[in-house]
Structure 1
Amino acid sequence: MTTRPPGAAAPATAPPTSGQTPEQAALRPGLKNRHLSMIAIGGVIGAGLFVGSASGIAAAGPGILLSYALVGALVVFVMRMLGEMAAANPSSGSFSAYADRALGRWAGFSIGWLYWFFWVVVLAVEATAGAKILEGWIPAVPQWGWALIVMLVLTITNLASVGSFGEFEFWFAGIKVVAITGFIVLGGLAIFGVLPGSDHAATGFDNLTSHGGFLPNGPGAILTGILLVVFSFMGSEIVTLAAGESPNARQAVAKATRSVIWRVGVFYVGSILVVVSLLPWNDPSIAKKGSYVAALDSIGIPHAGQIMNFIVLTAVLSCLNSGLYTASRMAFSLGQRGDAPRSLVRTNSRGVPQPAILASVAFGFIAVGFNYLWPDTVFQFLLNSSGAVALFVWLVICFSQLRMRGIILRENPEKLVVRMWLFPYLTWATIGMISFVLLYMLTDDSKGGGRVQVLLSVLVAALVVAISLVRERIRRNATQDALASR
């Protein structure tokens, strides 16, 4: 993270606006408050919630609620720590920039590139998922054609301006929020038998305990459920990157951080509570149709499958849109700090980092190609080797916050407008929780399971860290040689 000495002139390129540092001055603040508010609310709702919850319910029964609650608490704590740092120093590099300053250049370099790698792989996953839904509706266009169209449209959106990204994300997120809120309201009415036009019998909360108990597969299933749901929460940190292109970055970050508790509670725990209350956890329709479609069918909502396909497509497009944005801004920030080619720092007349966007989408297209040509070999390796990166990011945020708290208090105590609770004890407890999840993943030896993901992710992370340490040594030796030659 770069800082300007007191009294020094601001860069001539674009004067910083309120709440911005010179680091973001080259990016034009084009995100409005309503954009950031909806990104913050909808960013936590990933396609994984709609698609992956059925496997979690099958593994843990109604106890999956505890899995979601525990992971949700983890996300709340991590976001609180990230919010503390981001509100004090809004940055387009977010946690990578904070790790750079708090832990060293190697940390910022490593976690920045790993995070970029994670999102370009996600681009391929989401493009393929969206293409499958669209091909089902319009089979005249092949699946690869739909993937290409979706990627091109969202690339053009991101290249147009940051405002167009924000507008698309506003509506994508808005649809997700309305859909899941409507699901909770309709499901809640059906649970108590007061939904007009529905013949669903009032079950109350009997289904939580009537079919083998609240934990039909034992307490250990809660941990299995955690492994199945943890990655559906990835993306909640995007608002801290987007805030760097907002005229009121500190206020936006503070607001988003404080609202994360109810967002996780309502959208994740609340909606899953509706599913397992409406239907027995072992109802075959959950595995066959998906948890949300099965729940909608049970209360007599017509065309539930197609409605959910539309919502899932919206979530996929939202993830693609924000993933491309996130990857490009991380590449831009790495370029600013000299950890990526300087060409990635260039912006066009609209303040958009065009080279960073094109570089990110190019690798996304390559990953899409791997998914179609070698889905079970090359692409599976990419998936597995980025599988645990989300947890690595959360760990780095925790360790960075431990150091950054002292730096902020020493340099700009008035900027500490968001504080992590029970510091440093809760920070260390969160580190312990994340470490436990990583270790528990090593017990999952299924094909493409947790053990493979952790080991390959660690291997890739070790390679990136080694590259960063070698670069740092070369840079240090060059500096010493330059000083010695004077």
Structure 2
Amino acid sequence: MTQTASAPTTTGSSPRLRRDIGFWGLTFVSLGSIIGSGWLLGALLAAQVAGPASIISWLMAGAFLAVLALVHAELGAAYPVSGGTARFPHIAFGSLAGFTSGWMGWLQAVTIAPIEVEAALSYTNNKLPGLVSTNGTLTMVGLVVASALMLAFTVVNIVGVKLLAETNTVTVLWKTAIPVLTVVVLLLMSFHSSNFHAGGGFAPFGAHGVMAALPAGVVFALQGFEQAIQMGGEARNPQRDISRAVITAMVIGTIIYLMLEVAFIGAINPANLAHGWANPIGKGDFGPYATLATGVGAGWLAALLYIDAVISPAGTGLLYLGTSARLSYALGHNRHLPRRLARVSPRGVPLTSIILAFIVGEIAFLPFPSWQSLVGLVTSATAIMYGFAPVALGALRRVDPDRPRPFRLPAAGVLSPLAFVAANFIVYWSGWEADSKLLVAALIGLVLFGVNYARTPAAERPVLDWRASAWVLPWLGGLAVISKLGQFGGDKVIPFWVDLVVVAAFSLGIYALGARSGMHGAREESVLEDEQAEAGLVTA
């Protein structure tokens, strides 16, 4: 297989996605998604749940997501298509699995853009009151400003992916520099080593607290490595660049977040920890790093942090609006949802899907829960989306063994199942409240899929592939049952530690079933050829 030197914008009269993004553009797309509002709030939320042991939470999240990122790196390089997280399961298992993965991915992506906008306005409200009400919802003025930001994101995405990548590159350089500067300043000006065993010791809430911190902002902060994969159909050299971009962004992001947690804990006034970790910087304070910077006499850093509190979330919102558009594009391309979602404009972008993302984002500005309340739901949806990839990799290694793989996951027979276990742990730790809502959202998605299927002419309907997708329902249903009976917001029927063994054993069983369920024969080849043609690849 060889890549065409420059994929055309059109084939005949049909517009196609433009291939304008290079390695650094892809890297910054992923890194820009990793560094958003999560870095401003993640350390505080993790410390409140786990105390100093939140450092372990970041290490665990980094390890879990690193393995998942490596799985996605192989798939993204071997199958470089837009909306890859929805397309990989479709290639491996067909329509039902592909839709479920894409629907979960779209739900989290389309929600994050307005969440990031609300986070930016909440910070701004500290200096310019009147944008956010006392209960955390937007005022009329705030709604107008939020809508203007969403409209700006939409325009940038409509103009084209090259402008999106260039705009994001400038933003990411800023977004990376400010956290690094914050770490350096806090470590040099205020570091209390005693804080790491204050307020009840290093792990005041035990192992349960360490695990509970992961969905309380830690995983949410580190997620986003897959954004380079979602743009795979628009990369100049996807086989070479996608895997490198994903791995590079994940390593940089994990190091930055780990150092931020260390600097945050060390900079807290020890007197604030006399009564524990409930309010380490002051009750109701929404700008933890700015407060710490002011406390150590670095008012100039606090000013930069308030500026960054707008730039970082806004930059991530810009990216996720584009990402959600690529996912709905993939769902339309696979005929899971109306085909009009896969229409590409003369500029080479999925115009209808971008407009849909804007509309849903506007709806999300209604008086819904706060940033913190939505983190668990988004984290659980993301973990399910991630969880499809290891099973797809196991199946595709078996049914499509001859496909060139520029990056190969080492020890895939071990790491791929472990990656699936890691994704399921994250879903379980998100808690029953988030998981139950996600189950309802999944059912709504299946209803929409059924309606679209019924309205599609019989000759154009996607094959349902019941047999290949048979593992998906037991997986999601079993996770829901374990979550309901478990220790994280459930009925606590399954004892702690035993619940982790149950999740791991259940995950390995589902993985074995799913990896054996990949499609075979002519239909598999036709799907692969369709994906290959859409990606702009030709057979040598």
Do these two structures clear the TM 0.5 threshold for a shared fold by scoring above it? yes
Q: Does 1:60 pair with 2:50?
A: yes
Q: Work out whether residues 46 and 233 of structure 1, in 8 Å CA contact, stay in contact via their aligned partners in 2.
A: no
Counterpart position of 1:451: 432
Task: Quote the Cα distance in structure 2 between the aligned partners of 1:115 and 1:215.
Answer: 34
Q: Work out whether residues 83 and 323 of structure 2, in 8 Å CA contact, stay in contact via their aligned partners in 1.
A: no
Change (3 A) 1:260 1:150: closer
Task: Quote the Cα distance in structure 1 between the aligned partners of 2:372 and 2:113.
Answer: 14
Task: For residue 452 of structure 1, report the CA deviation from its aligned partner.
Answer: 1.6
Deviates more, 1:236-245 or 1:71-80: 236-245
Q: Does 1:438 pair with 2:430?
A: no
Task: For residue 74 of structure 1, report the CA deviation from its aligned partner.
Answer: 1.0
Task: Quote the Cα distance in structure 1 between the aligned partners of 2:211 and 2:203.
Answer: 12
Q: Work out whether residues 124 and 306 of structure 2, in 8 Å CA contact, stay in contact via their aligned partners in 1.
A: no
Q: What letter corresponds to residue 401 of structure 1 in structure 2? A: L
Q: Work out whether residues 220 and 378 of structure 2, in 8 Å CA contact, stay in contact via their aligned partners in 1.
A: no
Deviates more, 1:82-91 or 1:161-170: 161-170
Task: For residue 264 of structure 1, report the CA deviation from its aligned partner.
Answer: 3.6
Q: Does 1:147 pair with 2:143?
A: no
Q: Does 1:324 pair with 2:321?
A: yes
Task: Quote the Cα distance in structure 2 between the aligned partners of 1:376 and 1:211.
Answer: 30
Matches within 5 A, 1:390-429: 390-408=382-400, 410-412=401-403, 415-429=404-418
Task: For residue 146 of structure 1, report the CA deviation from its aligned partner.
Answer: 0.8
Change (3 A) 1:439 1:346: closer
Counterpart position of 2:280: 284
Match of 1:439, SS state, is helix
Q: Work out whether residues 74 and 408 of structure 2, in 8 Å CA contact, stay in contact via their aligned partners in 1.
A: yes
Task: Quote the Cα distance in structure 1 between the aligned partners of 2:48 and 2:342.
Answer: 47
Counterpart position of 2:237: 248
Match of 1:270, SS state, is helix
Task: Quote the Cα distance in structure 1 between the aligned partners of 2:81 and 2:445.
Answer: 22
- Runs of at least 5 residues in structure 2 that lack an aligned partner in the other structure: 132-140, 462-540
Q: Does 1:113 pair with 2:103?
A: yes
Q: What letter corresponds to residue 285 of structure 1 in structure 2? A: I
Match of 1:214, SS state, is coil
Task: For residue 476 of structure 1, report the CA deviation from its aligned partner.
Answer: 11
Counterpart position of 1:196: none
Matches within 5 A, 1:241-390: 241-260=230-249, 262-279=251-268, 280=270, 282=277, 284-285=280-281, 288-289=284-285, 290-368=287-365, 370-371=366-367, 375=368, 388-390=380-382
Task: For residue 349 of structure 1, report the CA deviation from its aligned partner.
Answer: 2.3
Change (3 A) 1:13 1:438: closer
Report Cα offsets for 1:141-164 as digits up to 9, x if no partner. Answer: 821121111111111111111111
Report Cα offsets for 1:273-324 as digits up to 9, x if no partner. Answer: 1212233464732655444224323432115444322212112111210111
Task: Quote the Cα distance in structure 2 between the aligned partners of 1:267 and 1:400.
Answer: 30
Task: Quote the Cα distance in structure 1 between the aligned partners of 2:321 and 2:47.
Answer: 31
Counterpart position of 2:183: 184
Matches within 5 A, 1:1-12: none
Task: For residue 358 of structure 1, report the CA deviation from its aligned partner.
Answer: 1.0
Q: Work out whether residues 120 and 367 of structure 1, in 8 Å CA contact, stay in contact via their aligned partners in 2.
A: no
Task: For residue 336 of structure 1, report the CA deviation from its aligned partner.
Answer: 1.8
Matches within 5 A, 1:185-224: 185-190=184-189, 200=190, 203=192, 205-224=193-212
Task: Quote the Cα distance in structure 2 between the aligned partners of 1:474 and 1:348.
Answer: 25
Residue identity (%): 21
Counterpart position of 1:98: 88
Change (3 A) 1:25 1:274: farther
Q: Does 1:14 pair with 2:10?
A: yes
Task: Quote the Cα distance in structure 2 between the aligned partners of 1:349 and 1:467.
Answer: 29
Task: Quote the Cα distance in structure 2 between the aligned partners of 1:296 and 1:180.
Answer: 12
Task: Quote the Cα distance in structure 1 between the aligned partners of 2:453 and 2:37.
Answer: 39
Task: For residue 339 of structure 1, report the CA deviation from its aligned partner.
Answer: 1.9
Match of 1:348, SS state, is coil
Task: Quote the Cα distance in structure 1 between the aligned partners of 2:284 and 2:126.
Answer: 17
Q: How many correspondences in the alignment?
A: 439
Q: Work out whether residues 387 and 454 of structure 1, in 8 Å CA contact, stay in contact via their aligned partners in 2.
A: no
Q: Work out whether residues 123 and 320 of structure 1, in 8 Å CA contact, stay in contact via their aligned partners in 2.
A: yes
TM-score (norm 1): 0.81
Q: Work out whether residues 172 and 317 of structure 1, in 8 Å CA contact, stay in contact via their aligned partners in 2.
A: no
Change (3 A) 1:185 1:386: closer
Task: Quote the Cα distance in structure 2 between the aligned partners of 1:376 and 1:272.
Answer: 26
- Runs of at least 5 residues in structure 1 that lack an aligned partner in the other structure: 17-23, 191-199, 442-449, 481-486
Change (3 A) 1:223 1:87: same
Q: Work out whether residues 130 and 142 of structure 2, in 8 Å CA contact, stay in contact via their aligned partners in 1.
A: no
Q: Does 1:43 pair with 2:42?
A: no
What is the Cα-based RMSD across aligned positions, in Å?
Answer: 3.3
Task: Quote the Cα distance in structure 2 between the aligned partners of 1:365 and 1:380.
Answer: 19
Match of 1:219, SS state, is helix
Report Cα offsets for 1:328-352 as digits up to 9, x if no partner. Answer: 1112222222222222222222212
